[in-house]
Amino acid sequence: MAETLSTRVTRLEKVMVEISEKHAEIATKHAELDGLVKVLLDAQIKTETRFQETDRRIEKLVSAIGEFIRRDGKSA
């Protein structure tokens, strides 16, 4: 038996409610992902900064060792 117009409208209304609920869920997940991306980017920036600071410290240490060796070689 064919659906009546009222039955179709009711079914469409239910589908629209489901779509709306799913859209809200997706929006929530999107916001959560945005937050996670921000946290990951912040962590990446901090890690990169630490690596750069470590590189600078290593460069200074190597330079100081070279200077020490050069001075010690002259006094020997």
pTM over 0.85: no
Mean pLDDT to the nearest integer, 47-60:
98
pLDDT at residue 74 in the model: 72
User: Cα–Cα distance between 11 and 6 in angstroms, integer?
Assistant: 9
Fill in the DSSP letter of residue 3.
P
Instruction: Please say if the pLDDT value at position 38 is more than 80.
Output: yes
pLDDT band at 50 (very low <50, low <70, confident <90, very high): very high
Distance from the Cα of residue 54 to its chain's centroid: 23
User: Cα–Cα distance between 68 and 11 in angstroms, integer?
Assistant: 84
- What ranges in 3-75 are assigned the alpha helix state H? 5-75
**Which range, of 32-36, 38-42, 70-74, averages the lowest pLDDT?**
70-74
